[in-house]
Amino acid sequence: MQVSPKTVQGTVHNTDNQRSARPLSPRVSVYRWRGPMLASFAHRISGVVLVLFVPVYLCLLSGLTASAADFSDTINWMHSPLGRLLLWLIGSALIYHLVNGMRFILLDAGFSETREEMRGSARFSLAAGLAAVVLLAVYLW
Amino acid sequence: MDTVIQLEIYRFDPEQGGEPRMQSFEVPVNKPGMKLLDALNYIKWNLDGTLTYRRSCGEGVCGSDGMNINGVNGLACITPIAGLKQPIKVRPLPSMQVIRDLVVDTTHFFDQYRSVKPWLQAESPVPEHERLQTPDQRAELDGSYECILCGCCTTACPSWWWNGDRFLGPAALLQADRWIKDSRDEATGERLDDLEDAFKLYRCHQIMNCMEACPKGLNPTAAINHLKRTLLARKS
Amino acid sequence: MLKNMRYGSAHNGLNEWYLQRLSAVVIALFMPMAFALLLAVYDGSLDQMRLLNLLNSHIGRTLHTLFLLALLTHAYLGIKVLVEDYVHVVAWRVLLMGLILTTVAGLAVWWFAVIWAWGS
C-alpha cells in the first residue's frame, strides 16, 4: 500500500465525461489504522512471508534426507545467522497467519460477528502474533 | 473542556485550481454537547463563508455530512467535539473526486447502489392489503434496513480504494444482502447470480473499516460474510 | 457507463474463495507438524535415522503430498488475490498469473520428486 496521489490517477471511478481536474481525496495516507485493519494487513504481509516457506522447506527437506554429511550441513545452516533469521521470520509469520486464519474462517462461518467481537478477536490475533515473535526470538537466540 | 477548539479543514476551490490544502480555524465552544457540524456551521456563518460542505437534517438521519474526521469516517452532525483530539482534522470522504472543500462526487457510489436493484422484486400479484411478513421474517432485516447511504463505510474500505470501479463496496453489498434476506422478495436467485463475481463481492478481505466507520452501528462485514455463506450454500 | 453494470457477473470467485479456506484447514492440520519436525531437527532431538523413519513410509509420503498440494494451492490463490488487488492492467495480470502458476507447478513437481525418492 503506497501513499495515495493527490490528483486523479490510478483508479478512476467515474465516467469519462467527469475525468476533470477534480482531485482524489486522500485515502491510505490519512486513514487511521485500527485493530481489524492492522490484523487484515498483517495477515497479508505474513502470507507473503510464508511464500518463502515453500522453497526453504523444500531445500531443508532435501538436505535432511540426503547423505549424513548433507544432514549435518543442513543443520549447521539452520544454526547460522541467516538460517535463524529465516526460521524466526517464517515461524512468526506462520503462527500469526494460523491464528488470524482461524479467526477469519470462524467469521466466514458466521461466528462472533458482533462489532465488539470483531474488534476483540483482531486484538487477540495481533497479541498472539506479537507473542510468537518474542517467544521464537528467545528460543532461537 | 477548552473554550476554544482548533480545527484543520481540507480546502479545494475548483475556480482557483491548484493543490488542495489544509486550513486552520479556531472556533469557540458555544454550547454543551457541541457537535462537529456546529463547529463547521460556526466557521461558515462567522469566519469564512466560502467553506463548503453538505448537511441537511443535522441529526444523523439523512446521511449528508459524511466526512473523514481525524482519520476515521463519520457523520459530523452526531460526532461530539468533546471526544476528538485537537486540532481536529476534517477531510472529505476518502478516495472520492472532490468537487469543492468537503463536497465529493457521489455519482459512482449511487450507481453501485442502484446496480444491486434495491427495491422489492415480486412476480406474484399484490395481495388485497399488503405483502405480509412474520415478526421473525421482519427481524431478519434488522441491521440492514437502518442504512442511510452516507457512504462512510464504502469510502473507508481499502479494497474499494484500489478496485472501486469493480468492487461494489460495503454499502451496496449490505443493501444487496438486505433484499436477499427479505422474505417478500422473489428475485433472490438473480440477485445472487449478479453478485457471484471475484471483483464485485470477493474483494472483501475482512478489513472491517466499514464496521468501524458506520455511524449507525451496522456491520457491513457481517452482511458480506452472510452473502458469501449464502452463495456457498447454494452451490454445495 | 459503469464497468460492472455493462459486463454483468463473471460467476467466479466462489470456488476460489472456498478452495482457499478448504486448503487452509488442511494446512492448519499439517503445518504445526512440519514446523515441529523442523524444530526437533534444529535442537538435535531428532537424528537423521529417526527422521527418515518418520518420512520414509507410505503414511509419511502421503501426508506430505497432501500437505504440499494444499500449501501450493493456498499460496497460489493467495498470490492471485494480491495480484487482482494491486495489478490493474489486465495484460500484466494475465502474464503475471501465468508465470506464478508455472512456478507453482514446477515447485510441485520438484517437491513430489523429493518426497517419493526418500530412502531410495
Q: Where are the domains of chain C?
A: 11-116
Residue A92 C-alpha, separation from nearest chain C C-alpha, in angstroms: 11
Of C2, C5, C17, the CB nearest to B202: C17
Question: In the structure grid, which three cell numbers stand for residue B158, read together?
Answer: 481499502
Contact criterion met (CB below 8 Å) for B147 and B178: yes
Q: What is the dihedral of CA A25, A29, A33, A37, to 10 degrees?
A: 70
CATH code, domain carrying B28: 3.10.20.30
CA nearest neighbour of B66 among B38, B19, B41, B102: B102
* A chain contacts of residue B71, beta-carbon cutoff 8 Å: 30-32
Q: What is the dihedral of CA A23, A29, A31, A37, to 10 degrees?
A: 130
Indicate the average pLDDT of chain C: 89
Please check whether residues A44 and A82 belong to one and the same domain. Answer: yes
Q: Over the stretch B52-62, which tens digit does the pLDDT of each residue have?
A: 999 999 999 99
Indicate the average pLDDT of chain B: 95
Instruction: Please state whether the peptide bond connecting residue B87 to the residue before it is cis, i.e. omega within 30 degrees of 0.
Output: yes
Report d(CA B131, CA B96) in Å as an integer: 39
Please check whether residues A39 and A87 belong to one and the same domain. Answer: yes
* Percent of chain C residues past pLDDT 70, beyond the cut: 94
* Cα nearest neighbour of A113 on chain B: B222
The DSSP 8-state label assigned to residue B85 in this structure reads P
Tell whether the model's pLDDT for residue A24 goes beyond 50: yes
Q: Which one of C2, C7, C18 would you mutate to disrupt binding with B, by most B Cβ within 10 Å of its Cβ?
A: C2
Which range marks the domain in which residue A14 is found?
A: 1-31
Please check whether residues B46 and B157 belong to one and the same domain. Answer: no
CATH code, domain carrying A133: 1.20.1300.10
* B chain contacts of residue A113, beta-carbon cutoff 8 Å: 219, 221-222, 225
Interchain pair B200, C84: CB under 8 A:
no
Report d(CA C74, CA C77) in Å as an integer: 5
Confidence of residue A19 (pLDDT cuts 50, 70, 90): very low
Confidence of residue A42 (pLDDT cuts 50, 70, 90): very high
Into how many domains does chain A fold? Answer: 2
Residue C52 C-alpha, separation from nearest chain A C-alpha, in angstroms: 7
Please check whether residues A25 and A38 belong to one and the same domain. Answer: no
Q: Over the stretch B73-118, which tens digit does the pLDDT of each residue have?
A: 999 999 999 989 999 999 999 999 999 999 999 999 999 999 999 9
Please check whether residues B85 and B150 belong to one and the same domain. Answer: no
Hey, what amino acid is at B211?
M
Last residue of a domain, one of B75, B104, B133: B104
- A107 in B contact zone (CB under 8 Å): yes
pTM for this one? Answer: 0.90
User: Chains that contact B by 3+ CB pairs under 8 Å?
Assistant: A, C
* Cα nearest neighbour of C35 on chain A: A91
Distances (CA, A) of B109 to B104, B167, C94: 11, 11, 28
Q: Over the stretch B152-187, which tens digit does the pLDDT of each residue have?
A: 999 999 999 999 999 999 999 999 999 999 999 999
**Which residue, chain included where needed, has cell 436477499?**
B180
Fold exhibited by the domain C11-116: 3 helical TM bundles of succinate and fumarate reductases (1.20.1300)
Query: What value of ipTM does the predicted structure carry?
Result: 0.88
Please check whether residues B230 and B143 belong to one and the same domain. Answer: yes
Q: What are phi and psi of B162, to 5 degrees?
A: -85, -30
The DSSP 8-state label assigned to residue B155 in this structure reads G
Which range marks the domain in which residue B76 is found?
A: 4-104
- Position A133 scores a pLDDT of 95
Residues 6+ apart with CB under 8 A from A76: none
- Position C47 scores a pLDDT of 86
* Percent of chain B residues past pLDDT 90, beyond the cut: 93
CB-facing half-sphere around the CA of B99: CA atoms within 13 A: 10
Please check whether residues B34 and B51 belong to one and the same domain. Answer: yes
For residue B91, give the H/E element and its range. strand B88-91
Q: What is the dihedral of CA B90, B94, B100, B105, to 10 degrees?
A: -140
* Cα nearest neighbour of C88 on chain B: B163
Confidence of residue C4 (pLDDT cuts 50, 70, 90): low
Please check whether residues B140 and B223 belong to one and the same domain. Answer: yes
CB-facing half-sphere around the CA of A18: CA atoms within 13 A: 17
C83-118 as b/e: b if 16+ CB within 10 A: ebbebeeeeeeeebbeebeeebeebbeebeebbeeb
- Position B147 scores a pLDDT of 96
Please check whether residues B116 and B182 belong to one and the same domain. Answer: yes
CA nearest neighbour of A32 among B68, B78, B104, B205: B68
* Cα nearest neighbour of C17 on chain B: B202
Into how many domains does chain B fold? Answer: 2
CATH code, domain carrying B207: 1.10.1060.10
Q: Which of A127-131, C2-6, C70-74 has the lowest mean pLDDT?
A: C2-6
- Position B236 scores a pLDDT of 85
Last residue of a domain, one of B47, B73, B104: B104
Q: Which residues in C have their CB inside 8 Å of a CB on B?
A: 2-5, 8-14, 16-18, 81, 84-86, 88
Please check whether residues A26 and A38 belong to one and the same domain. Answer: no
Please check whether residues B68 and B79 belong to one and the same domain. Answer: yes
Interchain pair A15, C1: CB under 8 A:
yes
Please check whether residues B231 and B173 belong to one and the same domain. Answer: yes
CA nearest neighbour of B155 among B58, B36, B75: B75
Q: Over the stretch C82-108, which tens digit does the pLDDT of each residue have?
A: 999 999 998 999 999 999 999 999 999
Question: In the structure grid, which three cell numbers stand for residue B32, read together?
Answer: 454543551
Please check whether residues A131 and A63 belong to one and the same domain. Answer: yes
Residue A29 C-alpha, separation from nearest chain B C-alpha, in angstroms: 9
Please check whether residues A76 and A106 belong to one and the same domain. Answer: yes
Distances (CA, A) of B93 to A24, A26, B10, B153, B165: 10, 8, 11, 10, 16
User: Which runs of E-coded beta strand occur in chain C?
Assistant: none
SS (H, E, C) chain A: CCCCCCCCCCCCCCCHHHCCCCCECCCCCCCCCCHHHHHHHHHHHHHHHHHCHHHHHHHHHHHHCCCHHHHHHHHHHHHCHHHHHHHHHHHHHHHHHHHHHHHHHHHHCCCCCCHHHHHHHHHHHHHHHHHHHHHHHHHHC
Question: In the structure grid, which three cell numbers stand for residue C111, read together?
Answer: 517437491
Tell whether the model's pLDDT for residue A103 goes beyond 90: yes
What is the bridge-based pairing of β-strands B21-28 and B66-69? unpaired
Span A97-110, mean pLDDT? 95
Residues 22 through 61 of chain B touching chain C, CB cutoff 8 Å: none
Please check whether residues B26 and B85 belong to one and the same domain. Answer: yes
Residues 6+ apart with CB under 8 A from A15: B107, C1, C2
For residue B9, give the H/E element and its range. strand B4-11
